């Protein structure tokens, strides 16, 4: 059974890829306050050549390499404590009992406390973590090395589908921070270092290798794509902490662990974070291009019914009213075969192609409809919040 290594359990379910409106839902609407250099500058710090905590780490592998990396990067790894409120359950909430007892047995909200990890990505206090670490929290506090007490943190932006969140603390002084590395250069077998707060044990360090790349898993209502798999020990409380290479760069965000097996953990690759980090820091959410259709795979039976040769493409089973697809004239049971001249293998492939494009971009779709091949031009919109 999969489990997020922070607060939630994971169920290994195979989900049919039917995507409404092109991509998964967007979360986060938080306003930015108290930033000293502003989110735009902080974003530049996170992805530029500014000197992070890992800048002086030697690239060569030696007896003390791991310890050197931990010494340099450890101060930029933080503990995140959250407080959430949930409505308590009681049999006396049933209308039958309330007829006799009223609200005298009402349990009211229950306070839950949880912890996770994160890491600083700019000297003025922006912090990257998992969205599920801070989901629903009414209070977020961050513990940073060198400070006598935890600092209040504000959730600046969050996205549920990618499980990413950006926090902000006002520390009153420059903070050490980590740089994002290039996951595309990571090879299976490369060393990996995880730092976090498993079970409240602050700044625990574990070491392993990258076991695989591009792993998909399903976690409750989230579908993760392209995860890094590692055998570096990841445990509850590690969620949101960094997975580092031997240069001290962040190559992943520790996210999930297989509770029924040893040495199987997962991290969101930095290549997933980099394209969306600016949106999270400056807009509070991730904006995505939107086609506005629900899709299903082309099975042999579906191909036979529609008179389609082969099983490539994606079948439109719903067109959202008022969407770009509706305005362009796409219809139910159309089969989308190409996007801008590139063949569509299946529904997932179409979603990935749309995600790689920009809002307002005009795309050419090749569509099979009732025995004819049509070319339809669509201007992608911005995916609405759900």
Confidence of residue 25 (pLDDT cuts 50, 70, 90): very low
Domain spans, the chain: 2-95+102-283, 289-382
What pLDDT is recorded for position 172? Answer: 94
Whole-number percent of the chain with pLDDT over 70: 77
* Beta carbons within 8 Å of 106's beta carbon, 6+ residues apart: 90, 92, 93
* C-alpha 156 chain-centroid distance: 15
Other beta carbons less than 10 A from residue 386's beta carbon = 11
CA–CA gap between residue 377 and residue 267 (Å, rounded): 38
Find all residues with CB under 8 Å of 228, minimum gap 6, and list them: 183, 186, 192, 210, 212, 213, 215, 243, 251, 252, 266, 267, 268, 269
For residue 46, pLDDT over 90 is answered with no
3-state secondary structure of 132: helix
Superfamily of domain 289-382: PDZ domain (2.30.42.10)
Using one digit for the tens of pLDDT, what is the confidence trace for 174-195? 999 999 999 999 999 999 999 9
Q: pLDDT tens, 264-291?
A: 999 999 999 999 999 999 999 999 999 9
Contact 366, 372 (CB under 8 A): no
The reply to whether 2-95+102-283 and 289-382 are identical in fold is no
Report the C-alpha dihedral over residues 297, 25, 110, 81, rounded to 10 degrees: 110
Assigned CATH for 2-95+102-283 = 2.40.10.120
Output helix, strand, coil percentages for the chain, rounded to the nearest 5: 20, 35, 45
Rounded Cα–Cα distance for residues 382 and 323 (Å): 10
pLDDT of residue 63: 64
Catalytic residues: 132, 163, 239
pLDDT tens for 210-231 read 999 999 988 777 888 899 999 9
Report residue 10's pLDDT band, with 50, 70 and 90 as the boundaries: very low
| Tokens standing for residue 191 | 């060393």
* pLDDT band for position 131 (cuts 50, 70, 90): very high
pTM of the model: 0.73
Helix and strand counts by DSSP (H, E) for the chain? 8, 22
């Amino acid at each position: 059974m999969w489990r997020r290594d922070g607060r939630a359990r994971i169920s290994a379910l195979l989900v049919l890829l039917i995507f409404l409106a092109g991509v998964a839902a967007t979360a986060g609407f938080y306003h930015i306050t108290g930033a000293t250099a502003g989110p735009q500058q902080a974003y530049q710090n996170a992805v530029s050549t500014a000197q992070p905590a890992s800048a002086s780490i030697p690239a060569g592998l030696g007896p003390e390499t791991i310890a050197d990396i931990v010494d340099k990067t450890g101060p930029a790894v933080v503990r995140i404590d959250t407080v959430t409120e949930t409505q308590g359950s009681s049999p006396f909430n049933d209308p039958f009992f309330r007829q006799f007892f009223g609200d005298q047995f009402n349990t009211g909200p229950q306070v839950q406390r949880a912890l996770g990890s994160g890491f600083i990505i700019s000297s003025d206090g922006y912090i990257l973590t998992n969205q599920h670490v801070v989901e629903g929290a009414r209070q977020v506090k961050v513990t940073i090395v060198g400070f006598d007490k935890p600092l209040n943190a504000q959730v600046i932006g969050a996205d549920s589908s990618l499980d990413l969140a950006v926090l902000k603390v006002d520390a009153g002084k420059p903070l050490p921070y980590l740089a994002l590395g290039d996951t595309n250069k990571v090879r299976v077998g490369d060393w990996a270092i995880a730092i976090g707060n498993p079970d409240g044990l602050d700044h625990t360090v574990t070491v392993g290798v990258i076991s695989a790349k591009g792993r998909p898993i399903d976690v409750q209502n989230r579908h993760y794509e392209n995860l890094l798999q590692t055998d570096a020990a990841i445990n509850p409380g590690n969620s949101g902490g960094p997975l580092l290479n031997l240069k001290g760069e962040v190559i992943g965000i520790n996210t999930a662990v297989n509770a029924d097996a040893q040495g199987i953990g997962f991290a969101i690759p930095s290549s997933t974070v980099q394209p969306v980090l600016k949106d999270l820091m400056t807009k509070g959410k991730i904006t995505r291009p939107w086609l506005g259709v629900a899709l299903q795979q082309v099975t042999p039976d579906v191909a036979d019914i529609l008179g389609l040769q082969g099983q490539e493409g994606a079948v439109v089973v719903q067109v959202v009213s008022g969407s770009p697809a509706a305005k362009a004239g796409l219809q139910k049971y159309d089969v989308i075969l190409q996007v801008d001249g590139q063949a569509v293998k299946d529904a997932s492939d179409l979603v990935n192609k749309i995600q790689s494009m920009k809002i307002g971009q005009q795309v050419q779709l090749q569509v099979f409809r009732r025995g004819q091949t049509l070319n339809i031009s669509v201007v992608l919109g911005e995916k609405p919040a759900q």
